[in-house]
């Protein structure tokens, strides 16, 4: 997303997606009103009440990664409308630990699942010290509550210690179980100019939600995700148009395990696979580059979830012919396969 607000709020990839979707002129009018170069007080207060923060970064090989930081509320706070201070650092083994350097582009998502509120802030790391880091605001904007599953996080005491991260080059059985059961994941993308001196485009991180099992894992390990109607910003897909690399984050809400997946992605606009998925306007097809397992990395747990009412207008992947309904229901965590509720 461009910081040249007087010209356009959108970069070339976002504009291309908006044009393909038939909303280009409308979004040009909306863009300069909803995308700010500072944080409004409402957003500043919102970030300060959160116990976790989703972070998008880019490593030295230009691969985006999605990460999560957690600490008691107040760890993220805004001293003024153009800055956000984060009083925690990523753990060893998190790709964010190496990417977090002064001058680096960074994307931040504040999300409160139990109230279905979320706000985004993209900027540049201004300072890193022993207690955390500071981010200078480049873009600040809100998001609608669509597809967020309502669940409230709690910190756990005496949690099992985090194990050594394990990296593999493809989806293994443990990763497949997490992904096929997921009703939520986060995706980090970047403009290819992210980090270039004097260039405004940077890193973005976003939320994706659906019925349990909405991320399909193919036999070859590729991932397919339906893209539902949203705000037409196309921050994520617009970045993918100009830079196909992306980073996914799956959270095991019961155990605190994290799964971080590096992928290359493409947008699918038509075909029988799209037509078969009710409510999907596009598909996102992703090839896995590497998978990072981080057991017990998050000191938060979520009890239960209320699926978003917006999912009533969406479908689900067909049951694989090789699996019985009972097996597929167990793998995806669905209550039923007939109504999906």
Residue 341 within any structural domain of the chain: no
Per-residue pLDDT at 264: 98
Confidence of residue 320 (pLDDT cuts 50, 70, 90): low
Q: 251 lies in which domain range?
A: 12-332
Q: Give 275's contacts (C-beta < 8 A, 6+ positions apart).
A: none
Residue 292's CATH number: 2.30.110.10
- What are 59-86's pLDDT values in tens digits? 999 999 999 999 999 999 999 999 999 9
User: Cα separations (Å) of 94 from 60, 157, 227?
Assistant: 14, 22, 28
- pTM equals 0.90
Tell me if 91 sits within 8 A of 161, measured CB to CB.
no
Residue 223 within any structural domain of the chain: yes
Looking at the structure of the chain, the number of domains it has is 1
DSSP character at residue 158: S
Torsion of CA 49, 88, 97, 135, to 10 degrees: 60
In the predicted model, is pLDDT for residue 1 greater than 60?
no
The gap from C-alpha 24 to its chain's centroid, in whole angstroms, comes to: 24
Q: Can you read off the two tokens belonging to residue 39?
A: 């944080």
Residue 36 within any structural domain of the chain: yes
Residue 289 within any structural domain of the chain: yes
The gap from C-alpha 28 to its chain's centroid, in whole angstroms, comes to: 24
Per-residue pLDDT, averaged over 170-177, amounts to 96
| Secondary structure element (H or E) that encloses residue 227, with its range | strand 223-227
User: Cα separations (Å) of 340 from 34, 89, 150?
Assistant: 34, 39, 16
Residue 84 within any structural domain of the chain: yes
Q: 64 or 198: whose pLDDT is higher? A: 64
Tell me if 223 sits within 8 A of 247, measured CB to CB.
no
- CA gap 17, 223 in Å, rounded: 21
Q: Which of 3, 104, 122 is nearest to 59 (CA)?
A: 104
Least confident of 87-91, 101-105, 317-321: 317-321
Residue 2 within any structural domain of the chain: no
Phi, psi (5° rounding) for residue 174?
-65, -45
In the predicted model, is pLDDT for residue 294 greater than 80?
yes
- What are 225-251's pLDDT values in tens digits? 999 998 889 999 999 999 999 999 999
Per-residue pLDDT at 7: 66
Residue 1 within any structural domain of the chain: no
Least confident of 5-14, 96-105, 217-226: 5-14
Per-residue pLDDT at 162: 74
Residue 295 within any structural domain of the chain: yes
Per-residue pLDDT at 238: 92
- CA gap 298, 317 in Å, rounded: 30
- CA gap 112, 335 in Å, rounded: 24
Confidence of residue 160 (pLDDT cuts 50, 70, 90): confident
In the predicted model, is pLDDT for residue 208 greater than 80?
yes
């Amino acid at each position: 997303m461009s910081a040249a607000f007087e010209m356009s709020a959108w970069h070339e990839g976002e504009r291309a997606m908006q044009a393909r979707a038939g909303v280009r002129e409308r979004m040009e009018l909306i863009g300069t009103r909803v995308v700010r170069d500072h944080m409004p007080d409402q957003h500043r207060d919102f970030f300060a009440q959160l116990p976790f923060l989703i972070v998008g970064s880019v490593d030295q090989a230009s691969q985006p990664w999605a990460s999560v930081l957690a600490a008691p509320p107040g760890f993220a706070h805004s001293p003024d409308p153009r800055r956000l201070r984060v009083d925690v650092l990523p753990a060893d083994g998190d790709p964010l630990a190496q990417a977090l350097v002064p001058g680096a582009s960074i994307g931040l998502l504040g999300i409160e699942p139990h109230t279905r509120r979320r706000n985004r802030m993209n900027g540049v790391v201004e300072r890193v010290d022993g207690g955390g880091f500071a981010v200078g605001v480049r873009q600040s904007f809100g998001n609608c509550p669509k597809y967020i599953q309502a669940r409230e996080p709690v910190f756990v005491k005496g949690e099992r210690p985090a194990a050594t991260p394990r990296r593999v080059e493809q989806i293994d059985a443990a990763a497949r179980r997490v992904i096929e059961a997921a009703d939520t994941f986060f995706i980090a993308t970047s403009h290819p100019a992210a980090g270039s001196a004097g260039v405004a485009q940077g890193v973005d991180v976003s939320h994706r939600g659906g019925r349990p099992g909405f991320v399909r894992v193919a036999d070859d390990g590729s991932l397919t995700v339906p893209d539902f109607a949203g705000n037409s910003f196309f921050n994520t897909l617009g970045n993918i148009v100009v830079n196909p690399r992306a980073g996914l984050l799956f959270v095991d809400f019961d155990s605190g395990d994290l799964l971080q997946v590096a992928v290359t992605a493409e947008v699918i606009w038509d075909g029988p696979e799209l037509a078969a998925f009710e409510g999907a306007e596009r598909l996102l097809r992703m090839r896995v580059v590497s998978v990072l397992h981080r057991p017990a990395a998050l000191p938060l747990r979520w009890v239960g979830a209320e699926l978003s009412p917006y999912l009533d207008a969406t479908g689900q992947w067909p049951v694989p012919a090789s699996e019985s309904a009972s097996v597929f229901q167990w793998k995806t965590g669905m209550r039923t396969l007939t109504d999906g509720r």
